[in-house]
Homo-oligomer: A and B are copies of this chain.
Amino acid sequence: MREKKPDQDKKSNSIEDVARLAGVSIATVSRVLNKFASVKERNRVKVVNAIKQLRFQPSVFAQRLASGKSNVVALVIPRYEGMFYSFYVLELIRGIGTLCEALKLDLLLQLTDTRTPLNLKAAGGIIFADIIGNRPQLEDAFNAGIPCVVINNYIEDLKVNCIAVDNIGGAEAAVNYLISLGHRKIAHISGDLITQPAALRLQGYTLALKRNEIALRQDYIFKTDYSRGQARQAAEKIIKMDDRPTAVFVSSDSMALEVMAVARELGKEIPKDLSIVGFDDNPSGLYGPVALTTVRQPLVKMAQESVKRLSFLMTAKNAAKVEKTILPTELVIRESASPIGS
């Protein structure tokens, strides 16, 4: 089909050119490319030189087609409103991106609308960051036998690897801490409950109250979409309540900072008039007038762990066993919560 044009017309050189220049067969070049130990040193050097001289780079597409394997890791992030204003996503991308580069894996970033099915042949493995409305995508990939790992979401009913963070424990620790400071009237500003972490944090909050025999008040629970706007509304309501909470556990640091700002605008002092505990350990929390007490979650660790595990799954000969991990969270005590009445 394509005309055989003279050499200088060629787009770029192929393994054949390298073979010719090195005076060996393309099979040998391929072996050098793939670091087969069997190639005689003399030939290896010739090939390496030819590659250098021609500035040859193999076609990754041909490699993948011929070998049937690909070193492509797809990172699937469901796109939803507010997603991108979060601390969380960037941390994930940072952790995953950095490790992929180190492990020579190609990172395909898929900000999915959750409806479009993924092309399962595009990647050798998939990391699902959270599962929000895209459970079918996960199941398709799982059923197709593609190595998958889910992060930031604990999936019970599928034999799939997952790595999540101890949201319940973290929330409980936060609320227990407030209780230990003497607070009994503790509000909660939750994140978007379509996300598992937000739901679990709410659960942890509930649990802590129950275990401490504090009655759960629905009017102390404020549901948001994680946005600062909704956090602001919630904060205003809280501060203007008749039976005002003395403390609030907020599902993200970004929202907690907003609560702090609102409180100050309304003439309240933090933590004297309102104790606040956030969730994330977002560095921004450090830099206000009052450093934010928060729950640290190991996002980068989770991200990197997922790449390691996926990389293992992608190269494993025999099916590896499925692991479900929950990484611990840690309460970081700073200044935004204090004993009641202090």
Contacts and interface: CB of A to CB of B under 8 A. Distances in A.
Chain A interface size, under 10 / 10 to 19 / 20 to 34 / 35 or more: 35 or more
Interface in A155-207: none
A93 interface: yes
Given A61-B61, A122-B106, A111 B84 contact: no
A283 B64 CA distance: 43
A273 interface: no
B70 A97 contact: no
Nearest to A286: B228
Contact of A61 (B64, B94, B108): B64
B119 A97 contact: no
A93 B64 contact: no
B93 A109 contact: yes
The complex is assembled from copies of this chain, and their number is 2
B122 A97 contact: no
A233 B272 CA distance: 29
A61 B70 contact: yes
Given A64-B61, A289-B289, A107 B106 contact: no
Interface string A104-121: 001111111100000111
A119 B60 contact: yes
A290 B250 CA distance: 22
A261 B283 contact: no
Nearest to A259: B287
A144 interface: yes
Contacts of A288: 261, 288
A212 interface: no
A14 to B, nearest CB: 10
Interface in A17-59: 57-59
8 contacts: A61-B62, A61-B64, A61-B65, A65-B65, A84-B94, A106-B122, A108-B109, A257-B287
